[in-house]
Amino acid sequence: MIRTIIKNRYLLGQLTRKDIELKYKDSVLGMLWSVIVPILMIVIYTFVFSVVFRPQWISDTGSKFEFSLIMYCGLVAFNMLSDVMARSSGLIASNANYVKKVIFPLELLPVMITLTALFNSFISLIVLVIAKLILTHTVSVTLPLVVVVYIPLVIFTVGVSLMLSAMSVYLKDIASVISVVITVLMYVSPVFFSLESVPESYRIICEINPMTYMIENFRNVVLYGTMPNWLYLVISFVIAIVMAWLGGTIFRRAKEGFADVL
């Protein structure tokens, strides 16, 4: 898998660029939407959670903008995975022309949509950092370490995409299942709440969720200015590597029958 990516890195770059361009091709504002949408989301969250009501997460001494930044930071990490999951269900079918090309490495397709999601995530991250600077007049000194946090997230996302894209060729109803899974996963991830606020008896639900560790570390380095939780980082890497191996194995075995099904 890694050798395939390295060997075809130029092709992967071309595919990713084309995928990004196609997303905004027919829109009037084009790629500006990748900046406008995050800005609008932060404005909406700031209004709702600082004017309409104050969540428990906001401390009495904290900024009224605190929760909007905290929640949006969690969404930046989570949306990368959810976007890829949503696209994975129809990935192979929508690129059926590549399936019958023996020389085309199909493994590049899941990596391609992951890199597209990573691009969008970076744009959202930049908007988040600028918003934090404007609202709190500070930038976390640990911000460069976000690259380290992104690595297991990217590896994990590729693995999930490999698995889902392969399964969806044979299981046509998987798209409906994925939409439900995304919703459930979002509400058991610490996006709208802090991990500490979950009662001990229910915290296991969050602790078996791989996104918990990635989101927590994402906030640590981007918002709180603290070092990553190294235990969380190790857990993230282990889960990511296992998921990538599992997804790669399933995809490699399943792709032999793609042409027959499609």
For residue 32, give the DSSP letter: G
Which pLDDT belongs to residue 44? 77
Which pLDDT belongs to residue 262? 66
Pair 218, 77: CB distance under 8 Å: yes
Lowest-pLDDT range, 25-39, 94-108, 131-145, 239-253? 25-39
d(CA 114, CA 248): 14
Alpha carbon distance, N-terminus to C-terminus of the chain:
23
d(CA 129, CA 127): 6
The domains of the chain are located at 2-261
Give the SS3 label for residue 73: helix
Pair 1, 107: CB distance under 8 Å: yes
d(CA 87, CA 175): 9
Mean pLDDT score, 53-81: 72
Which pLDDT belongs to residue 173? 83
Query: Burial level of 177, CB count in 10 A (0-12/13-18/19+)?
Result: middle
pLDDT confidence tier of residue 111, bands split at 50, 70 and 90: very high
Is the model's pLDDT at 94 over the cut of 90? no
Which pLDDT belongs to residue 35? 77
pLDDT confidence tier of residue 49, bands split at 50, 70 and 90: low
Is the model's pLDDT at 101 over the cut of 80? no
Tell which residue, 25, 163, 200, 33, has the closest CA to residue 89.
163
Which pLDDT belongs to residue 226? 92
**Structure tokens, 254:** 């399943």
pLDDT confidence tier of residue 112, bands split at 50, 70 and 90: very high
Which pLDDT belongs to residue 159? 96
**Structure tokens, 205:** 């639900």
Residue with more model confidence, 117 or 55: 117
Q: How far is CA 121 from CA 40, 60, 84, 153, 208, in A?
A: 15, 31, 11, 11, 24
Residue with more model confidence, 64 or 160: 160
**pTM summary value:** 0.88
Which pLDDT belongs to residue 119? 93
- Please enumerate in sequence order all residues whose Cβ is within 8 A of that of 88, keeping only pairs 6 or more positions apart, or say none: 110, 113, 160, 161, 164, 165, 168, 178
Task: Tell the residue number behind the tokens 């691009």, with chain if given.
Answer: 119
Mean pLDDT score, 145-156: 96
The C-alpha angle with vertex 59 and arms to 57 and 63, in degrees rounded to 5, equals 105
d(CA 172, CA 59): 47
CA-derived radius of gyration, the chain: 19
Is the model's pLDDT at 115 over the cut of 80? yes
Is the model's pLDDT at 242 over the cut of 60? yes
Amino acid at position 138, single letter: T
Tell me the percentage of the chain whose pLDDT exceeds 70.
89
Supply the mean pLDDT for the chain. 86
pLDDT confidence tier of residue 60, bands split at 50, 70 and 90: very low
Give the SS3 label for residue 252: helix
Is the model's pLDDT at 52 over the cut of 90? no
